[in-house]
Amino acid sequence: MRLAFVTSNPGKLEEAREYLAPLGIEVYQLNVDYPEIQADSLEEVAEYGVGWLAERIGDPFFLDDSGLFIPALNGFPGVYSAYVYRTLGINGILKLMRGIGDRKAYFKSVIAYWDGEIHFFEGRVDGVIVEKPRGSGGFGFDPIFSPTGFDLTFAEMTTMEKNRVSHRGRALRGFATWLKENLK
Ligand code: ITT
């Protein structure tokens, strides 16, 4: 089967393709710029986006809203991750972390699938913000995030390795399981 992934982010697309292709699901990109509202949770942002897109796209589709949350910064950048990545960038985050002992962070991903109704699949991965960027793989904040139990940053992992532990990999696992059960 073929599934439309509404995203402008080639990194997200590659991860979804790599995860779903072995299950016989071919993912294609729909690069539609949907409104991302200011809200307190990723779910709310995703839900609004789905509602907007559902009025414009006839076929089923999914999107992924994700973010990096740093408890020592009260959850920042969180729902503002895309804006912060574009403006402060990874070096801006490292600057904000200077002098802060608690470097814990987590990524969260919410996949929202629309097939006439909305279905949510979530994933989270805990880890730390490293001192200096490392690695050239992945995208976004990957060079400064190392998941718990690994010395590597996400940017030092292959897509398959990242998918095994990442927030998106976990959300994709739930999504794939649901698809198998519901789309026979
Ligand atoms: P869309 O078109 O799919 O919305 P986006 O990049 O704008 O793409 P989001 O709105 O979900 O995505 O913003 C999430 C931000 O967090 C964005 O800057 C990403 O680079 C970053 N991010 C999300 N997942 C990540 C991951 O797995 N590794 C590193 N950074 C990630």
Asked whether the beta carbons of 166 and 154 are under 8 A apart, the reply is yes
Ligand 1 atom with least separation from CA of 85: 18
Cα 55 to averaged position of ligand 1 atoms, centre (Å): 24
- The preferred substitution site among 81, 93, 134 for testing ligand 1, maximizing ligand atoms within 8 Å of CB, is 81
Rounded average pLDDT over 14-38: 95
Residues marked active site are found at 65
Strands 76-77 and 26-30, by their bridges, are unpaired
Q: Which residues line ligand 1 (CB under 6 A)?
A: 7-9, 12, 36, 64-68, 81-82, 85, 107, 138-142, 154, 166, 168
Q: Which of 170, 169, 142, 141 is nearest to 156 (CA)?
A: 142
Cα 146 to averaged position of ligand 1 atoms, centre (Å): 16
State the chain's mean pLDDT as an integer. 97
- Report the alpha-carbon distance of residue 174 to residue 151 in Å, rounded: 26
Whether the pTM exceeds 0.95: the reply is yes
At residue 183, the pLDDT reads 81
The CA distances from residue 17 to 21, 124, 163, in Å, are 6, 19, 11
What domains appear along the chain, each with residue ranges and CATH number?
Answer: 2-182 (3.90.950.10)
**What is the band of 15 on the pLDDT scale with cuts at 50, 70, 90?**
very high
Buried (b) or exposed (e) across 28-59, using 16+ Cβ within 10 A? ebbebebebeeeeebbebbbbbbeebbeebee
